[in-house]
Amino acid sequence: MNLVIVESPTKAKTISKFLGRGYKIMSSFGHVRDLPEDKLGIDIENNFKPEYVIPSKSKKVISSLKKESKKSERVILATDEDREGESISWHLEQILNLRNPQRIAFHEITKPAIEEALSNPRKIDMNLVNAQQARRILDRIVGYKLSPFLWKKVARRLSAGRVQSVAVRLIVEREREIEKFIQEQYWTITALLSKDQKEFEALLFKKDKKVIPKMGIKTEKQADEIIKELKDSEYMVEKVEKKETKKNPLPPFTTSTLQQEASKRLRFPAKMTMSIAQRLYEKGLITYHRTDSLNLSNQSLFTVKKFIEERYGKNYWPGFFKKYKAKGKVQEAHEAIRPAHIERTPDKIKEDKNSQRLYELIWRRFTACQMAPAVFDSQSYDIKAKNYAFRATGQTLKFEGFLKVYQMSFEEKDLPALRKGDILNIIKLSPLKHLTQPPPRYNEASLIKALEENGIGRPSTYAPIISTIQDRNYIEKDKDKRFSPTEIGTVVNDLLVEHFPEIVDVKFTAEMEQDLDKIAQAEKDWVKICRDFYAPFEKNLKKKYKEVSKKDITEKPTEKICPKCGSPLVERLGKFGRFYACSAFPKCRYTESLKENILGIKCPKCIKGEILEKRTKRGKLFYGCSRFPKCDFALWDKPTGKKCPICDSLLTETKRKQVKCSNKDCQYNKKMAK
């Protein structure tokens, strides 16, 4: 009997379909060892040796695997092909005391891929394992050494992270760009023209044969003067340009681009996208979903060529295989994300709605990437009026090509057929005011793109990074799903930027990612990388414990007096915002909410208290009585101050701007729902 160990029960179930009776497939249910939760777990003096422990949830699984491995003729470790997968295989080898286990890896869970992997087993790649260990150790050092510093100097339960803190910095700096932005106005002038009773628009773009810059017309007065100059002008076609233009398909998905596109098109958070992609991979529907490669196997290219020609027609295949190359240093042995079987069209798979939608996105993107470009007939007319020139542009779709499968936005604009020298009728000149816009806040898609462009983290880490900094109340989403920093996020960021600049330096973090890649490629020693980071970090940390004052960061004096002991009240910053606190703390523990958090609504339960904005320990906003714990009244939805016409309870407003009664059993809710 051959024992095959994978990390997921779903993956085990899929693989069992392709292997015969001589194989037993078992799952490790993910990682089987990790660093301890209650301490650093790294022997700094002994070459950063990690202290691995088996979590309670894994002990039963390990016992079963040990029992089965002793009975098996050979043990095959078939975990995922990335650093995490290699690390799981190594931990299994150590815990199960395996002698010469066979390591296999495959990019897709299909019968040919598994048979190929079984024919070419290898040893565990310790370079990949060491790269994963180095990342885990560096992250643990920053988290376990720097977080207590934040507890002491800012507030309890805060945390810092080697990569997450850089992501917060990007969001804080973007917010400051927006705050500093000074809006400017500029004007454009459009001419509505006609020929043979067909109207079209042209935009003013030249004066005295020089291009007018985007903000060249700065005032309404300038725009009006130009319109006066053009009064009674003759509008003549000076230049005609007609050509065929092509729009090429986008490359297949990598982890990063899949997360970005799923966010834009499907409104999926990155964490959700990766969770669904994991299931699709384990069920054998798509290739491995953690990749930065754009490589495609020859077999997949021949298969999709045949499919395109049979399904859509030979003119939809461009006549050659399209090869895409990713920027930077990637593992080209890996493949891009694609369907494992192109003939499994989205309508042929039976999954839940969200899995179906993500699979369809992947299937369409891959199919389209090997299709012919879309072809447009484009026209451009330059129109002279005195010493000014206008330009009209248009395009019409001639051949849809890949757009038949993968929709992308484009504008069709049909212009009348004109010749050089044609005289046009002017209907009106329209000045249009524009205002410059500040840079937009990051959403999930644009933040992932920024992380990737700056070399921060790896494709598999983007989703947990975004999730973590939200859970820790460093950033929050607005109604448009865009991120802004919380006050505590800004304070922590500024503290780290001032006192630990390397930890939140974009370039330094990107270089560290490159070092981890070099460890994986046997070009650098992981212990040296950890030592080079730790020595200056620890020295600076000791220094900052002495230099940095908590009061300077978190407290502001006020003129208010504590009603309990008569000491002055200070405005203090906590994890979930500012509040009033007694300066005699810890002798006096009096606290009071700021006026800005008070909604001005009486508590309906105790009558004496007022409703305040509050946050849970995890940062989630709710509304509760100011007399807590004496009164435990609380709501998740914001109270409006109005009473229900049926039961007299408070009416609330949901995030979707729907009004409902705070009494869940009230008939008013059913009435409003109708």
Options 3.90.1200.10, 1.20.120.530, 1.10.290.10, 1.10.260.40; CATH for 255-369 is 1.10.290.10
Average pLDDT over residues 557-572: 93
Pairing of strands 2-6, 23-27: parallel
Q: How confident is the model at residue 472 (pLDDT cuts 50, 70, 90)?
A: confident
pLDDT in tens, 502-552: 999 999 999 999 999 999 999 999 999 999 999 999 999 999 999 999 888
Domain covering 134-180+440-547, topology = Topoisomerase I; domain 2 (1.10.460)
How far apart (Å, rounded) are the C-alpha atoms in residues 288 and 271? 16
| Total Cβ atoms within 10 A of residue 140 | 19
Is 288 an annotated catalytic residue?
yes
Selected residue with higher pLDDT from 674 and 113: 113
Average pLDDT over residues 261-267: 96
How far apart (Å, rounded) are the C-alpha atoms in residues 598 and 601? 8
Residue 267, burial from CB neighbour count under 10 angstroms (0-12, 13-18, 19+)? exposed
Pick the catalytic residue from 235, 281, 288, 534: 288
pLDDT of 365 reads: 98
Options 1.10.10.10, 2.70.70.10, 3.40.50.2300, 2.70.20.10; CATH for 185-248+374-435 is 2.70.20.10
What is the torsional sign of CA 142, 147, 149, 150? positive
Structural domain 2-124, CATH architecture: 3-Layer(aba) Sandwich (3.40)
620 pLDDT higher than 70: yes
pLDDT of 396 reads: 96
**DSSP state, 649?**
P
pLDDT of 626 reads: 82
The mean of the pLDDT values for the chain is 92
Tell me the domain boundaries of the chain: 2-124, 134-180+440-547, 185-248+374-435, 255-369, 553-592
Peptide bond into 339 cis (omega under 30): no
Please report, as a single letter, which amino acid is at residue 582.
Answer: C
How far apart (Å, rounded) are the C-alpha atoms in residues 5 and 252? 30
pLDDT of 81 reads: 87
Place of tokens 């497939």: 25
Q: ∠ at Cα 76 (75, 79), nearest 5°? A: 135
How far apart (Å, rounded) are the C-alpha atoms in residues 472 and 156? 12
How far apart (Å, rounded) are the C-alpha atoms in residues 133 and 127? 10
255-369 matches 2-124 in CATH topology: no
Angle between helices 506-520 and 164-180 (to 10 degrees): 150
| Total Cβ atoms within 10 A of residue 293 | 21
pLDDT in tens, 173-207: 999 999 999 999 999 999 999 999 899 999 999 99
How far apart (Å, rounded) are the C-alpha atoms in residues 80 and 255? 15
